[in-house]
Amino acid sequence: MSSHTQAPASAPHFIRNIIEADLASGKHTDIVTRFPPEPNGYLHIGHAKSICLNFGLAIDYQGHCNLRFDDTNPEKESDEYARAIQEDVQWLGFHWQSEVRWASDYFEQLYGYAIELINQGKAYVDDLSAEEMREYRGTLTNPGKPSPYRERSVTENLDLFQRMRAGEFADGAKVLRAKIDMASGNINLRDPTIYRIRRVHHIRTGDAWCIYPMYDYTHCISDALENITHSLCTLEFEDHRPLYDWMLDQLTVPSHPRQIEFSRLELRYTITSKRKLLQLVTEQHVSGWDDPRMPTIVGMRRRGYTPQGIREFTRRIGVSKSENVVDMAVLEGCIREDLESRAPRVMAVVKPLKVIISNFVVGESQSREAGFHPEHPEFGSRMVPFSKEIWIETDDFTENPPPRWQRLIPGGEVRLRYSYVMRCDEVIKDDAGNVIELHCSIDQDTLGKNPVGRKVKGVIHWLSSEHALPAEIRLYDRLFNVPEPDNDKTRDFCEFINPASLTVVQGWVESTVRDAAPETHYQFERLGYFCTDRYEHQPGGKLTFNRTVTLKDSWTKEPV
């Protein structure tokens, strides 16, 4: 590219500073990044941060970003996960350079580089068991000791490694190790394993290989083969950087990328461990990886989070090396702000209470037109029908009002949104004393105007029972009832699951949403932002809505 400018997409941070210095000095003329997920699970909000960082930087500096799957651990990998990851990246609004790349694309080259290390006397075949290797490796305070097989000749190591590939040895019988420094203060440099024997069917190469390279060995070489300029990863890989650099320094690779670490995202009231997310799924604490309570990208999508809101969240939390623990309210705030401008307004009732309008007059009591958004007239409008029987929210009526109550009480008045002022004249109860119906009257002179001689402060939403459509409405709350559910190592994190994280109710919605497609967003006035379910919503049939986020921040409150 001929020119590079700092894009205003996000605030400056230390990685941007490095990139700009490299471009200014001429070290690089183009920026190439990569997003390297392992296809062993669904991506979560932490991965979204990495996706937005890697793809975003490539866009901002007119470079490109590769999507490369780390498929070196075939026991846990699947096509399902790989397809889902590609869909997640695209849904977030990003596109990778050329075709999807895989570490397995380089298996033959990786094998050749291992031969090169052996020929240099910098790798050897080891027969120690896994337990013995741990014993020989030493500790953080004590150096390791050399394996008795460390000084095998180049000829013997070449022969044994080729026979490992040919399948002559049992799984785990031998490994190939880099010969670095068993006394190093960095345990990652104490002759790390770079190949192991595993007879497992691979999702792309089938049974062609029975030896597989380790991540630390594979990743740096794959970066180099793709001419990655800046290899961005989270801080847990900081101690692996010396191995990354050592490996590339020994080999005749086309480039030497720079590894840069940043802090990973920790989101309160949830978890981002793939293993623990899998536990939630397998133990059926949630309905699946795409359960709207999950922090997975597919789960957040199904709940109604928008890619624009998620991208804004990753921009807002920034990039640094310091601890990045973020409250859920920040994420919800970004989603709420995005939906504020894009979601049409309609009315829905989630806890219906029947109201009979005693003075309703056919042909005289009128309906009224209402816009879908007060700031976007281009969204259009719809007619809000009025009838003798309506639904209101049960929570909008009480016989014992608290201070400053501005909703309905016996003998009191409220404004029906887009309609008349209504007074409660009679309360009907069942034998147990529960309120089951209200008889009310309307002021016929208040359609679209205030009553004369009195002020009515309260406004409530409602629906005509004659015209409203039944809908399944799912009210989601935080999945856990403590900010850091996996912080107590003496207890299973599942003990902290919020039993009220999902409430399913049968409510009513305006008929205007009858034909809404799956993943359509609405603001249900006074209730929150909702989204038609991605899978179970049927336009013209069963209507299913997921609450995406409330209208106000409710995360400071204890779960009900």
pLDDT in tens, 95-145: 998 999 999 999 999 999 999 999 999 999 999 999 999 999 999 999 999
Query: Which tens digit of pLDDT belongs to each residue from 218-264?
Result: 999 999 999 999 999 999 999 999 999 999 999 999 999 999 999 99
257-316 pLDDT, tens digit per residue, is: 999 999 999 999 999 999 999 999 999 999 999 999 999 999 999 999 999 999 999 999
14-262: CATH, from 3.40.50.1820, 3.40.50.620, 3.40.50.300, 3.20.20.60: 3.40.50.620
**What is the rounded CA–CA span in Å between residue 194 and residue 123?**
9
The average pLDDT across 383-393 equals: 97
Residue with structure tokens 């999702």? 203
Q: At what angle do helices 107-119 and 154-166 cross, to 10 degrees?
A: 160
Structure confidence at residue 3 as a pLDDT band (50, 70, 90): very low
Give the range among 16-20, 43-47, 360-364, 528-532 with minimum mean pLDDT: 360-364
How many C-beta neighbours within 10 Å does residue 170 have? 9
User: What is the distance between the alpha carbons of residues 143 and 134, in angstroms, rounded to a whole number?
Assistant: 12
CB 471 within 8 A of CB 389: no
CA distance 163 to 151: 19
Q: Is the pLDDT of residue 1 over 90?
A: no
Q: What is the pLDDT of residue 7?
A: 40
Q: What is the pLDDT of residues 401-444, one digit of tens each?
A: 999 999 999 999 999 999 999 999 999 999 999 999 999 999 99
Tell me the whole-structure pTM to 2 decimals: 0.93
> If one looks up domain 348-460 in CATH, what number appears?
2.40.240.10
Could you give the CA distance from residue 354 to residue 423 in angstroms, rounded to a whole number?
Answer: 14
Examine the residue annotation and report whether 415 is marked as an active-site residue of this protein.
no
Give φ, ψ of 117 to 5 degrees: -65, -40
Is the pLDDT reported for residue 6 higher than 70? no
323: confidence class by pLDDT, cuts 50, 70, 90:
confident
What was the pLDDT predicted at 366? 87
- The reply to whether 177 belongs to the active site is no
* Integer CA distances (angstroms), 128 to 174, 183, 187, in order: 7, 18, 17
- DSSP per-residue letters across 469-491: EEEEEEEE--SBSSS-TT--TTS
Catalytic annotation, pick one of 150, 204, 264, 526: 264
pLDDT tens digits for 188-216?
Answer: 999 999 999 999 999 999 999 999 999 99
Enumerate the domain spans of the chain: 14-262, 267-344+471-549, 348-460
Same fold, 267-344+471-549 and 348-460: yes
User: pLDDT per residue over 441-451, tens digit each?
Assistant: 999 999 988 89
pLDDT band for position 10 (cuts 50, 70, 90): low
Active site residue 134: no
Mean pLDDT, the chain, rounded, equals 95
Q: How confident is the model at residue 11 (pLDDT cuts 50, 70, 90)?
A: confident
Amino acid at 150: R
* Cα R_g (the chain), whole angstroms: 31
- Cβ-in-10-Å burial (0-12, 13-18, 19+) of 157 comes to buried
Statement: residue 324 has pLDDT above 70? yes
| pLDDT for position 557 | 45
Rounded Cα–Cα distance for residues 76 and 71 (Å): 9
Angle 500-503-504 from CA coordinates, rounded to 5°: 165
User: Which bin fits 269, alpha (ψ -120 to 50), beta or left (φ > 0)?
Assistant: left
Residue 176 has pLDDT above 50, yes or no: yes
User: Residues 274, 415, 423, 478: which is the catalytic one?
Assistant: 274
pLDDT category at 184 given cuts 50, 70, 90 is very high
d(CA 265, CA 248): 29
Q: 551 and 528 in contact (C-beta within 8 Å)?
A: yes
Other CB atoms within a 10 A radius of the CB of residue 301 amount to 21
Q: Are 414 and 461 in contact (CB under 8 A)?
A: no
Catalytically annotated residue among 38, 312, 393, 413: 38
Q: Does domain 267-344+471-549 have CATH number 2.40.10.120?
A: no
Beginning with the edge strand found earlier in the chain, give each strand of the sheet holding 469-476 in spatial order: 345-346, 521-524, 528-532, 544-549, 469-476, 502-509, 348-349
Q: Is the pLDDT of residue 2 over 80?
A: no
Average pLDDT over residues 491-504: 96
